[in-house]
């Protein structure tokens, strides 16, 4: 099967006063066509930087030092701005985390949905009809009236549905969902997840789903990429990664998921230690300082250790542990 998205060796630096902050280091990941790939990792692991890099919309002080990003085999790094703008919104679309801030507060929903269709040469009425149909499809009651509403007249869940409708309206090949349920409550979360899955099947797009909620990833995704301190440390099918994690960080992350706790505890478990200083990342395994089973070997970078077809982990002992 062809991959919708192919990221290889992606390295992104931020210029700061303390020197170059290495926000992403040699990140590799693949999103096969028609699949949902989850990205999981704690705050500061580079998820947002990754999204910005995928869209090629990075802050002024960010620089792609190395690597490639291929969308359907087309290189995005250093692609001409015109071409990138053509791709954005048509082939790649994004749903952002906070629906309260991702819609323009002074324009009506209908106006914003017309804006997304600016490339179409069809009459306005047809565009409005499509917008209303999309709003109905994502489960908004009375979609035609909603076209005339302003964002502040809708609830958070309704706004996120609008944002999803806008993102999928142009039938993108790749939908990036940046923690789309973090700002919503738990019942809405399930509905939004269901909606994303249905839309994915209808449109046949691939979804890159960023979250730090392991339960949601396990529920929704086909594959998962675990990120830590700017590196992808493990990638594989959701089932394999969650049942037999190859990287100690993945294992600890799963242990720390409150959803999996069997017994009541006074204090939720956490991984001791802090993220390494990314202006001067230590050589070798990036997780070494916080890892229980670190040895001398970990001073060298492990690279990708294959565990099964399509499942690898960046740990010297990944394969040994399973034997």
Partner 1 sequence: MSQFRHSLAGRLLADPFAVLALLIIAGLVLIAAFADVVSPHDHAAMNLADRFAPPSATYWLGTDNLGRDTFSRLAQGSRIALYVALTAVSISGLIGLVLGMIAGFGPRWLDNALLFFFDTLRAYPTIILALALAALMPRGLGTVIVVVVITSFSEYGRVVRTQTLSLKNAEFILAERAMGASFLRIVFHHVLPNVLGPFFILAAMNLPVVITIEAGMSFLGIGVPPGTPSWGATLKDGFDYIRSTPWIILAGGLPLILVTLGFTFLGEALRDQLDPKLRKSR
DSSP per residue, 105-168: TTS-HHHHHHHHTTT--S-HHHHHHHHHHHHHHTT-SSHHHHTT--GGGS-HHHHHHHHHHHHH
**Shortest gap between Cβ of 103 and partner 1 (angstroms)?**
6
Measured at the alpha carbon of residue 195, what is the angle toward residues 192 and 200, in degrees to the nearest 5?
125
Angle between helices 156-168 and 186-203 (to 10 degrees): 10
| Interface map 163-192 toward partner 1 (x if CB under 8 A) | x--xx-------------------------
Beta bridge partners of 206: 174
Pick the binder of partner 1 from 43, 80, 105, 125 (CB under 8 A): 105
How many chain residues interact with partner 1 (CB under 8 A)? 28
**Shortest gap between Cβ of 180 and partner 1 (angstroms)?**
12
Q: Which of 93, 168, 99 is nearest to 130 (CA)?
A: 168
Number of other residues whose CB lies within 10 A of the CB of residue 1: 7
- Rounded Cα distance between 74 and 255, Å, is 39
Pick the binder of partner 1 from 101, 155, 201, 293 (CB under 8 A): 101
Chain position carrying tokens 């979360």? 189
Measured at the alpha carbon of residue 42, what is the angle toward residues 39 and 48, in degrees to the nearest 5?
60
Ramachandran region, residue 7 (left: φ > 0; alpha: ψ -120 to 50; beta: rest): beta
Judged by CB under 8 A, the chain residues 34 through 93 that form the site for partner 1 are 55, 57, 85-90, 92-93
Pick the binder of partner 1 from 2, 17, 118, 283 (CB under 8 A): 118
| Interface map 129-158 toward partner 1 (x if CB under 8 A) | -----------------------x------
**Shortest gap between Cβ of 118 and partner 1 (angstroms)?**
7
Nearest residue (CB) to partner 1, 207 versus 251: 207
**Shortest gap between Cβ of 23 and partner 1 (angstroms)?**
17
Judged by CB under 8 A, the chain residues 276 through 315 that form the site for partner 1 are none
Nearest residue (CB) to partner 1, 101 versus 295: 101
Nearest residue (CB) to partner 1, 152 versus 239: 152
Q: Which residues are CB-neighbours of 159 under 8 A, at least 6 positions away? A: 99, 100, 102, 103, 151
**Shortest gap between Cβ of 178 and partner 1 (angstroms)?**
10
Nearest residue (CB) to partner 1, 182 versus 244: 182
- Rounded Cα distance between 55 and 178, Å, is 12
- Rounded Cα distance between 162 and 156, Å, is 10
Pick the binder of partner 1 from 14, 96, 312, 317 (CB under 8 A): 96
Span interacting with partner 1, options 95-103, 124-132, 204-212, 263-271, rule CB under 8 A: 95-103
Interaction between residue 222 and partner 1 (CB under 8 A): no
Residues in contact with partner 1 by CB under 8 A are 55, 57, 85-90, 92-94, 96, 98, 101-107, 115-116, 118-119, 152, 163, 166-167
């Amino acid at each position: 099967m062809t991959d919708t998205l192919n990221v290889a060796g992606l390295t992104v630096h931020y210029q700061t006063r303390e020197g170059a902050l290495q926000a992403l280091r040699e990140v590799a990941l693949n999103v096969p066509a028609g699949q949902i790939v989850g990205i999981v990792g704690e705050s500061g692991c580079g998820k947002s930087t990754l999204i910005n890099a995928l869209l090629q919309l990075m802050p002024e002080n960010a620089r792609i030092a190395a690597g490639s990003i291929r969308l359907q085999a087309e290189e995005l790094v250093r692609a001409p701005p015109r071409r990138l703008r053509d791709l954005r919104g048509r082939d790649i679309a994004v749903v952002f985390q906070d629906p309260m801030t991702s819609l323009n507060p002074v324009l009506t929903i209908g106006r914003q949905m017309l804006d997304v269709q600016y490339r179409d040469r069809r009459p306005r009425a047809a565009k409005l009809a499509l917008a209303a149909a999309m709003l109905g499809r994502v489960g908004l009651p009375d979609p035609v009236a909603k076209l005339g509403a302003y964002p502040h007249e809708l609830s958070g869940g309704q706004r996120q549905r609008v944002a999803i409708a806008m993102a999928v309206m142009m039938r993108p090949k790749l939908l990036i969902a940046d923690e789309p349920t973090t700002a919503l409550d738990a019942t809405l979360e399930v509905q939004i997840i269901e909606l994303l899955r249905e839309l994915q099947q209808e449109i046949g797009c691939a979804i890159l789903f960023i979250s730090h909620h392991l339960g949601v990833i396990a529920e929704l995704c086909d594959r998962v990429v675990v990120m830590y301190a700017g590196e992808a440390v493990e990638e594989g099918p959701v089932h394999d990664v969650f049942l037999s994690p190859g990287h100690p960080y993945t294992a600890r992350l799963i242990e720390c998921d409150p959803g999996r706790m069997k017994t009541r505890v006074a204090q939720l478990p956490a991984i001791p230690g802090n993220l390494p200083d990314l202006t001067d990342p230590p050589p070798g395994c990036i997780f070494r300082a916080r890892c229980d089973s670190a040895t001398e070997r970990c001073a060298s970078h492990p690279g990708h250790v294959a565990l099964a077809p399509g499942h690898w982990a960046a740990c010297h002992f990944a394969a040994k542990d399973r034997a």
